Amino acid sequence: MKAAPMSAQSCDSSVPTVDPSVRFKRVLLKMSGEVLMGDREYGIDPATIDRIAADVKQAIELGVQVCVVVGAGNIFRGVSGAENGLERVTGDYIGMLGTVMNALALQSAFEKVGVPTRVQSAIPMQAVCEPFIRRRALRHMEKGRVVIFAAGSGNPFFTTDTPAALRATEMGCDALFKGTKVDGVYSADPHKDPSATHYDTLSYMDVLTKDLKVMDATAISLARENHIPIVVFSVLEAGNFAKVVRGEGKFTIVTDQ
């Protein structure tokens, strides 16, 4: 059963009204760390995060409530650390700390364009950001603030896909938006295979049985169990996020059907 959100449409005057064109009123945006790199080999490209911030602002102005989970593949992944002899759990904690760095950079970019933003970390770090508190996060979102969930789940042996599905469920989101470098899910890699076909819709079972690499299997199962649609879209195309929250443009939606 889907977690009951605090009112998406409350009578509280501090809650922004939602534009009637909006299809998904409360969304969790999941981005991998690689998306933040732009054309760089490592780290964060300021122009890319500024552009993502401008896109998120457009959605906020439509009254959409937005929370974000960001990965850290642009900085560190526990698995690669383990391949180089680092203890896996330590590597995973370094990866989680990497997500906090990305979250702080995104917060700065969002606030530069006038979107109030709070970072909440699954590993408490009180000098840097808030701890994860679900009801406080919901209230921030209702007030039009973006909440960035950092440090993944706070536990090793996960990627950030699973906490993205977990937070989307906890926050009562209408959809989990997976922002990627391509405009949806294809039958093969469209950069390598010109005959690859785009899927407009898929079922959770299709994704799992065809091993379509939308998100990791734990995240897909969690979304399936809680009936949270997964929307795969290109976050690199300027203005696309606001389009897709209205159900327009090109994307793939993964649902029960």
Residue 22 or 31 with smaller CB distance to ligand UDP: 31
Residue 63 beta carbon to ligand UDP: minimum distance, rounded to whole angstroms: 28
Residue 206 beta carbon to ligand UDP: minimum distance, rounded to whole angstroms: 22
Residue 43 beta carbon to ligand UDP: minimum distance, rounded to whole angstroms: 12
Query: Site map for ligand UDP, 91-130, x if CB under 6 A?
Result: xx--xx-xx-------------------------------
Q: Check whether 32 is labelled as a binding-site residue.
A: yes
# chain residues binding ligand UDP, by CB under 6 A = 23
Residue 107 or 159 with smaller CB distance to ligand UDP: 159
CA max distance for the chain: 55
Residue 63 or 234 with smaller CB distance to ligand UDP: 234
Q: Check whether 158 is labelled as a binding-site residue.
A: yes
> What would the DSSP string read from start to end of the chain?
-PPPPSPSS-S-TTSPPPPTT-S-SEEEEEE-GGGGGTT-SSS--HHHHHHHHHHHHHHHHTT-EEEEEE--TTT--HHHHHHTT--HHHHHHHHHHHHHHHHHHHHHHHHHTT--EEEEESS--TTTSEEP-HHHHHHHHHTT-EEEEESTTSSSS--THHHHHHHHHHTT-SEEEEEESSSSEESS-TTT-TT--EESEEEHHHHHHTT--SS-HHHHHHHHHTT--EEEEESSSTTHHHHHHTT-SS-EEEE--
With CB under 6 A as the contact rule, which of the stretches 21-29, 67-75, 112-120, 192-200 interacts with ligand UDP?
67-75
With CB under 6 A as the contact rule, which of the stretches 139-147, 151-159, 178-186, 205-213 interacts with ligand UDP?
151-159
Chain residues 3-42 in contact with ligand UDP, contact rule CB under 6 A: 32-34
Q: Which residues here bind ligand UDP, judged by CB under 6 A? A: 32-34, 71-73, 77-79, 91-92, 95-96, 98-99, 152-153, 155-156, 158-160, 163
